Amino acid sequence: MDKAAPADALQGSVIAVRGSVVDVRFATALPAIHAILHAGAERQIVVEVLTHRDAHSVRCIALTPTQGLARGMAVHDSGQPLMAPVGKGILSRMFDVFGHTIDHLPAPTGLTWRSVHRAPPTLLERKTSSTMFETGIKLIDVLLPLERGGKAGLFGGAGVGKTVLLTEMIHNMIGHQQGVSIFCGIGERCREGQELYQDMKEAGVLPNMVMLFGQMNEPPGSRFRIGHAALTMAEYFRDDERRDVLLLIDNIFRFIQAGSEVSGLMGQMPSRMGYQPTMGTELAALEERIANTDNGAITSIQAVYVPADDFTDPAAIHTFAHLSASIVLSRKRASEGLFPAIDPLQSNSKIATPGIIGLRHYTLAQEIRRTLAQYAELKDIIAMLGLEQLSPQDRALVGRARRLERFLTQPFFTTEQFTGIQGKLVSLEDAIDGCERILRDEFKDMPESALYMIGKIDEAREKKHNTEQPRSTADAGGQHANADAA
């Protein structure tokens, strides 16, 4: 962005500066909407044209801090919109909104630059058939199947495992589906970005990954455009390289928030609850580019912050309209050690229908939900009166539900260094088979702990055998000690 402007480029002068909003006057012609303008002694201040005010002036939003900008200063038109770098050289690197690397490594070479403002695929270019995107995570694949080329929302507070879940999906996508992962941090804290970069590096998934950050301390214009830059890179891998892309956005609410700030600075009349009147259009312009075509698919998982847990908030409502699956993380399940800490009764998927995932899978998922829901209803009775007061049928149902909960836990590759348990990737067929066998009471005599943190269901017998041997030795020692005491 610090290249010199062309000789025939338009030149104007600043007529007003209000925070991140800059008004610029041009004597002859006006630059195009979305054109990038440069100002300052070294042209280090970058602004983007958002509206034409009249025949001689434009209103712009700053993408960099505006300190030092004053009325009368010269402004140069770059003649082009905001550009993002694309090419194989962007893999394993971190970028800002301008396409500059921020990982303190040498600049990549052999890149081409594309405008971040691109139209979504037309209806003719999209694939109309829905197919499932396998993650290798049992609970998600069985109960909340994700759509290839779809959008899933990830809801959860701090410390319940959002980042671990995202990291595991990146690992599985890269290692087992030869795909590319792109992480877009919108309004991220620099600490979170640094920690994520180190986690990805240690997990060994960085070589097939790109990271972009529009940090919390940057102007709203920068945070508002970082998502478009990430999508431009994702579209390159989908359309040019013909690879499947996993796009992770954290946090989509901060994109809406940045748009609200821009709207307020531009002087637009606020809409309901203070949000910008153009929120629906702006969100759709970003979300509709995430699509499944004949070349490949961009599958997106987006962290969603719900203001004050109010799901009727306009930001939450507009986001829900675009999602094909909602994954809700539960602090209660995390405290019980049931990881991934996804609440199966609060979460849902729109493609969990017989026509897409098949009748066998659909019937099983409904049976699991029914069993877990009935167990949730019985928990109060168990807490007050104890398990012994239940009928034999209810006791059997509780046993099945508890074994299902433990079977749907899974050791992750990205947490091996912390837990010491080897990560497991479980195919959809193996996950379905295990759940069916538990519901048939095939494992009713097996301790619940044997089903905890395993991959395939057959590993439970091996785990039981390994835990029984030391115990039998200890029991024998205990019997000898009792005999001696007698």
pLDDT digits (tens, 9 = 90+) for 173-210: 776 667 899 999 998 888 878 888 887 887 777 888 99
Active site residue 377: no
| Rounded average pLDDT over 43-49 | 94
pLDDT at 127: 87
Are the C-beta atoms of 169 and 340 separated by less than 8 Å?
Answer: no
* Statement: residue 457 has pLDDT above 60: yes
d(CA 320, CA 120): 19
Nearest to 137 by CA among 172, 162, 110: 172
Distance CA 159, CA 112 (A): 39
Alpha carbon dihedral 429, 431, 437, 442, in 10-degree steps, equals: 130
- SS3 state of residue 423: coil
Q: What is the mean pLDDT of the chain?
A: 89
pLDDT tens digits, 295-352:
999 999 998 888 877 878 898 889 988 999 999 888 899 999 999 999 999 999 999 9
Would you state the pLDDT for residue 203?
73
Q: With CA atoms as reference, report the closest residue to 299 among 238, 247, 349, 350.
A: 247
* DSSP string over 126-169: B--S--EE--S-HHHHHHSPEETT-EEEEE--TTSSHHHHHHHH
Q: Active-site residue among 134, 147, 168, 188?
A: 188
Among residues 393, 400, 340, the alpha carbon closest in space to that of 370 is found at 400
The DSSP annotation for 8-65 comes to T--EEEEEEEETTEEEEEESS--PPTTEEEEESTTS-EEEEEEEE-SSSEEEEEESS-
pLDDT at 360 over 60: yes
- Give residue 160's pLDDT: 84
195 is catalytic: no
Stretch 103-113: mean pLDDT, rounded?
Answer: 92
Instruction: Measure the CA angle with vertex 441, ends 436 and 443; round to 5°.
Output: 95
Task: Check whether the bond before 121 is cis (ω within 30° of 0).
Answer: no
Beta bridge partners of 61: 21, 48
Least confident stretch, 94-103, 168-177, 216-225, 416-425: 168-177
Comparing 25-39, 161-175, 273-287, 344-358, which segment has the lowest mean pLDDT? 161-175
Query: What pLDDT does residue 1 have?
Result: 45
Q: Is the peptide bond before 207 cis (omega within 30 degrees of 0)?
A: no
Q: What is the pLDDT of residue 8?
A: 56
Pairwise CA distance, residues 229 & 234, whole Å: 9
pLDDT class of 471 with cuts at 50, 70, 90: low
Residues paired with 293 in a beta bridge:
126
Say if strands 180-188 and 209-215 run parallel, antiparallel, or are unpaired: parallel
Q: What residues pair up with 292 in beta bridges, in sequence order?
A: 297
Quote the radius of gyration of the chain (alpha carbons, Å). Answer: 27
Q: Which residues contact 196 (CB under 8 A, 6 or more apart)?
A: 163, 167, 183, 185, 211
Which range among 27-31, 174-178, 206-210, 448-452 shows the weakest confidence by mean pLDDT? 174-178
- Give the separation between CA 49 and CA 26, rounded to whole angstroms: 12
pLDDT given at position 483: 42
Nearest residue to 407 via CA among 345, 343, 339, 346: 339
Q: Which residue has the tokens 């807490």?
A: 383
pLDDT score of 224 more than 80: yes
Is the model's pLDDT at 477 over the cut of 50?
no
Could you tell me the pLDDT band of residue 470, with boundaries at 50, 70 and 90?
low
Distance separating alpha carbons of residues 97 and 233, to the nearest angstrom: 12
The C-alpha atoms of residue 176 and residue 57 are separated, in whole angstroms, by 53
Q: What share of the chain is helix, strand, coil (3-state, %, to 5)?
A: 40, 20, 35
| Cα 305-310-312 angle, rounded to 5 deg | 105
pTM confidence score: 0.85
Mean pLDDT on 37-49 = 92
Q: Is 15's pLDDT higher than 80?
A: yes
**Of the ranges 118-127, 173-182, 259-268, 407-416, which one carries the lowest mean pLDDT score?**
173-182
266 vs 145 pLDDT, higher one: 145
pLDDT: is 416 or 204 the higher one?
416
Instruction: Give the residue-averaged pLDDT of 43-68.
Output: 94
Furthest C-alpha separation in the chain: 108
pLDDT value at residue 176 = 61
Structure tokens at 337: 């050690």
Pairwise CA distance, residues 134 & 443, whole Å: 26
Q: Please determine, for residue 5, whether its predicted confidence score (pLDDT) is greater than 70.
A: no
**Which is catalytic among the residues 18, 71, 88, 189?**
189
Q: Which residues pair with 62 in a beta bridge?
A: 47
Q: What count of residues does the chain have?
A: 486
Write down the catalytic residue from 114, 138, 151, 162: 162
Angle between helices 252-265 and 279-287 (to 10 degrees): 140
Residue 484 has pLDDT above 60, yes or no: no
- Specify the range with the lowest mean pLDDT, choosing from 55-64, 171-180, 372-381, 455-464: 171-180
pLDDT, residue 114, reads 97
Bridge-based pairing of strands 112-115 and 180-188 is unpaired
- Could you identify the residue written with the tokens 């999209």? 126
Cα–Cα distance list, 136 to 141, 285, 388, 427, 465 (Å): 7, 31, 37, 6, 26
Residue percentage of the chain with pLDDT more than 70: 94
Average pLDDT for residues 72-80, to the nearest whole number? 94
Alpha helices by DSSP H, listed for 182-296, are: 190-203, 220-239, 252-265, 279-287
Residue 138 a catalytic site member = no
